[in-house]
Amino acid sequence: MSSEVESGTIDPTLEQENLSLEKYRKFLPSEVQREIWSNKFLLFVENLSVSFDGFKAVDIPHFGIKHGELRVIIGPNGAGKTTFCDLVSGKTLPSSGKVYYDGKNISQMDESDIALMGIGRKFQTPTVFDSLSTYENLLLALPGNQHWKHNLLKRESSEEKNQILEILEKVNLSDCRDMPAKSLSHGQRQWLAISALIISKPKLLLVDEPAAGLTDLETERTADLLLELAEEHTLVVIEHDMDFVRRLGQKVTVLNEGKVLAEGSLEEMETNEEVMEAYLGR
Ligand SMILES: Nc1ncnc2c1ncn2[C@@H]1O[C@H](COP(=O)(O)OP(=O)(O)O)[C@@H](O)[C@H]1O
Ligand SMILES: [Mg+2]
């Protein structure tokens, strides 16, 4: 395969499952490259870096997530996982490099515009309105309605109502529909935060540490929920909890010191010396 790459004889329209972004880089002019990457990857980054006071928190030459993939990102504390999500979601501007989503360069775009393009983000601490009920939280999250007062006061259409009820059912919160969010368990709050994301049907979901602080049962349910969501969305899931990552059973990318250290199955990562060193070295 690699000799074909070097001689540049690959038909660019062929599905090249085993070609990494790095190999594409080597033999294709950038315009063609981008088109191929966009067909193959919903999200890819090119020489992406961000520095804080001279410290490079993220420094990734190339990295991509395929359409429909569920990718898990792991890595020790401070590896740059959350910062990577910040860069993709437009919360932080890169110092250099580009982020392509759905074929478009979004690296200089506004956070709210990026969200409208279909990238949903769940933060480490779930953002939920405590005094509102579970149902009202989702009413507020309905797409195109950033004016929350308007959204709460107006009557939802029966279609919107059904959509909310369907999501509540999916995330196991139907019984908590009229309860104020503050009385939900930590796990239920996570599921509500995820529900608020998926109601606008984003193509790409960035989920930062969904299992942090959950009970074992909640952790299992969250993994199952994400697997279910993976049928309709492309997902990037950041997580520390190895049982959770094992339950997801997907390809894992290890970030360390802002760089991609390794990629493969969790089992491969657990027997990778460099990866183990990165974890133990902290
Ligand atoms: N806004 C910021 N200003 C300065 N340093 C930051 C900022 N955001 C993140 N960092 C630093 O970047 C590094 C990566 O952080 P982070 O992405 O939160 O790691 P992770 O999520 O993998 O634990 C850390 O050393 C952190 O202190
Ligand atoms: Mg983090």
What are the pLDDT digits (tens) for 4-32? 333 334 344 444 444 566 665 565 556 67
pLDDT computed for residue 40 by the predictor: 85
Using a 10 angstrom Cβ sphere, with 0-12 exposed, 13-18 middle and 19 or more buried, the burial of residue 161 is middle
What are the pLDDT digits (tens) for 198-233? 998 999 999 999 999 999 999 999 999 999 999 999
Q: Which domains, and CATH codes, for the chain?
A: 2-117+251-280 (3.40.50)
- The CB of 115 under 6 Å from ligand 1? The reply is no
Q: What are phi and psi of 241, to 5 degrees?
A: -70, 110
- The CB of 77 under 6 Å from ligand 1? The reply is yes
Using a 10 angstrom Cβ sphere, with 0-12 exposed, 13-18 middle and 19 or more buried, the burial of residue 24 is buried
Question: CA 272, 216, 78 angle in degrees (round to 5)?
Answer: 45
Give the DSSP H or E segment for 25: helix 21-27
Give the DSSP H or E segment for 139: helix 134-141
- The CB of 57 under 6 Å from ligand 1? The reply is yes
Partnered with residue 260 across adjacent β-strands are: 255
pLDDT computed for residue 152 by the predictor: 65
Closest atom of ligand 1 to CA, residue 258: 14
pLDDT computed for residue 192 by the predictor: 96
Helices and strands (H, E) in the chain, number of each type? 13, 10
The 10 Å Cβ neighbour count of residue 8 is 11
What are the pLDDT digits (tens) for 83-127? 999 999 999 999 999 999 998 999 999 999 999 999 999 877 778
pLDDT computed for residue 148 by the predictor: 58
Residue type present at position 37 = W
Residue type present at position 85 = C
The neighbourhood of ligand 2, an ion, using CB within 5 A, equals 81-82
What are the pLDDT digits (tens) for 242-278? 889 999 999 999 999 999 999 999 999 999 999 999 8
pLDDT computed for residue 135 by the predictor: 95
What are the pLDDT digits (tens) for 27-77? 555 667 777 777 889 999 989 999 999 999 999 998 999 999 999 999 999
pLDDT computed for residue 29 by the predictor: 59
What are the pLDDT digits (tens) for 236-248? 999 988 889 999 9
**147-159 exposure pattern, b = at least 16 Cβ within 10 A, e = fewer:** eeeebeeeebeee
